[in-house]
C-alpha cells in the first residue's frame, strides 16, 4: 500500500504569494492531520479532519491559513499571502479508526516550504 503522499516535496516562494500544499491520505483512513515543524516551535498540530469534516482547527495560526478536504482522498493546506515566518516543514498524517484505544498516525514525507 502507498503511504501518505504529499506534494510538492519542496516549495520556494516569495513573500505575498499564495502557496498550496497537497496531501493524499492512506486509502481507508478516515482521519487526516496537518502538522507544522519548525526549529522554534517544534511539531505542532494545525488542523485535523474526520470523514472530511474539520474537527479541530485551533492550531491554524491565522486567517492566512486555510485547509480543505473535499473528499476522502485529498486535502489541501493553503497559505495566502505567505510570509517568511511560514517557512517550515508541513506534514500531513492519516489514521484509521478501529477497535481498541490507539490509532497510530502515519506521516507523509513532508513539504519543506521556504518563503523568501
Partner 1 sequence: AQKITQTQPGMFVQEKEAVTLDCTYDTSDPSYGLFWYKQPSSGEMIFLIYQGSYDQQNATEGRYSLNFQKARKSANLVISASQLGDSAMYFCAMREGTDTGRRALTFGSGTRLQVQP
- Binding flag, residue 50, partner 1 (CB under 8 A): yes
Contact in structure between 91 and 35 (CB atoms under 8 Å): yes
Q: Closest approach of Cβ 35 to partner 1, in Å?
A: 8
- Judged by beta carbon, residue 76 or residue 103, the one nearer partner 1 is 103
Residue 102 CB contacts under 8 Å (≥ 6 apart), including other chains: none
- For residue 113, the minimal CB distance to partner 1 (Å) is 13
Contact (Cβ atoms closer than 8 angstroms) between residue 21 and residue 11? yes
109 contacts partner 1 (rule: CB under 8 A): yes
Task: Note if the bond before 108 is cis, omega within 30 degrees.
Answer: no
Point out which residues bind partner 1 (CB under 8 A): 31, 33, 42-45, 48, 50, 55-56, 89, 91, 93, 95, 101-110, 112
Amino acid at each position: 500500500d502507498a503511504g501518505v503522499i504529499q506534494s510538492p516535496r519542496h516549495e520556494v516562494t516569495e513573500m505575498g504569494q499564495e502557496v498550496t500544499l497537497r496531501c493524499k491520505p492512506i486509502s481507508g483512513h478516515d482521519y487526516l492531520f496537518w502538522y507544522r515543524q519548525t526549529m522554534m516551535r517544534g511539531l505542532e498540530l494545525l488542523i485535523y479532519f474526520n470523514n472530511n469534516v474539520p474537527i479541530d482547527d485551533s492550531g491554524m495560526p491565522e486567517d492566512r491559513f486555510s485547509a480543505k478536504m473535499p473528499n476522502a482522498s485529498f486535502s489541501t493546506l493553503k497559505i495566502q499571502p505567505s510570509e517568511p515566518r511560514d517557512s517550515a516543514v508541513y506534514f500531513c498524517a492519516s489514521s484509521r479508526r478501529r477497535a481498541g484505544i490507539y490509532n497510530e498516525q502515519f506521516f507523509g514525507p513532508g513539504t519543506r516550504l521556504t518563503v523568501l
